[in-house]
Structures are given as structure tokens and as C-alpha cells.
Amino acid sequence: MSLVVTALCAAAWYAGEPAEAIPRLSLLTAWLCFVLLAAALCIGPWRVLHNGQPTLNFLLRRDLGIWAAITALAHLLAATVVVMTPVYYGRYIDGPDIQPLSVLVGPASIISGYLIGIVCLLLLAASSNLALRVLGARRWKRLQRWAYGVFALTAAHGLAFQYIEFRTGVWLIALSLGSLAVLTLQLAGRRAVLRRAQRG
């Protein structure tokens, strides 16, 4: 996983003009975070639906979650360089040709990005066998469930920036379908667990 993420980031960095390297890296890490987090959240319900066995600490899911958090933090750093500038604000947040709600959606989306970063730091710190032993299974699992909130905020954050930056078409469709797929699988897994509990 580390080699794949590193190779993609290197490719984004060197893919075009050096002046646009950080914006390219910001966009790539945003999508990597979304895809990795979506994949991590799909593993649990997928296992429940196929073999009826939810697991507390599945290594692939944890690795995906760790790299989702790392790419989220990388995106936060890169996006801060890109977004927190007068040029960006003048073009997308408070310029003459902005989207009608950008003056409200923009700052809220930026704040949500930093909130996602803080929670990802907490989840990253807790993503180890040592943390599992120290916290105990129940508290550790409760903390890991914050990933659902992170995914919801990430999807909302991403949709908001598609709106702010006039991105439509494939970007918006991919983000919407990905979010819907995760939600659908999570609900199906939850229903399967409830049915099994009622029978048992």
C-alpha cells in the first residue's frame, strides 16, 4: 500500500508544470483518502454479508484506514497551501463570479477539512495493537466508529468543493456514487446483523 500511494503521489508531483504540483497533489490525496476510507468501511459489511462473521480487528481494513488517515493529513497540508490564499478566495469564495452559496459553503467546508484532520490524527494514534490492548476492545471499537463520521464529513466536504470549484460531470458523479455505495453496503450489513441477532 505504501508503494502504491508513494508512486501515485510522485506521479502527480511530476506530471505537469512544477507550479501546479501542489494543487495536483492536493486533488490526488483527496481522492485517495476518499477511496481508501470507502474501501475500509466496506470490508466489515462485506464480510458480514458473505460469511456472517464481523471482525474486531481485520488487518486489511486497518491498513486501509491508516493510509486513508495519512492521505487525509497529506491533503490537509497540500490543500492549506492551495486554498488559504487571496488568489483562491478571490476566485472561488468571495470573487465576482462565485457560486451563489460559496460565501457560506466555502468557510464551512474549510472548517470541516480541519475537523476531519483532527479526527484522523486520533484514529491514526489508535490504529495499533498497543492501543487495542490499552483501551480494551469495547472502547477501541467505539473510537474506531468515528471513521463513519469522518467518511460522512469527507463526502460532504468533497461535494461542497465540487460545487465551489465548478466541478461537475464525472467528478461529482464519482463522489456521489461512491458515497451511495458505502451507505448501501453499510445498511445492508447492519440489517444482516440485526436479523442474525433476532434469530439467535
pLDDT one digit per residue (tens) for the chain, 200 residues? 788 888 888 888 888 888 788 888 988 999 999 999 999 999 888 888 887 666 666 788 889 999 999 999 999 999 888 777 777 777 767 766 677 767 677 778 888 999 999 999 999 988 888 888 888 888 888 888 899 999 999 999 988 888 887 777 788 889 999 999 999 999 988 888 778 777 75
Number of domains in the chain: 1
In a domain, 119, yes or no: yes
Domain extent for 118: 28-47+58-199
In a domain, 7, yes or no: no
In a domain, 16, yes or no: no
Q: Residue 84 contacts by C-beta under 8 Å, 6 or more apart in sequence?
A: 110
pTM of this prediction? 0.87
Print burial letters for 41-54: b (CB count within 10 Å at least 16), e (below 16). bbbbbebbeeeeee
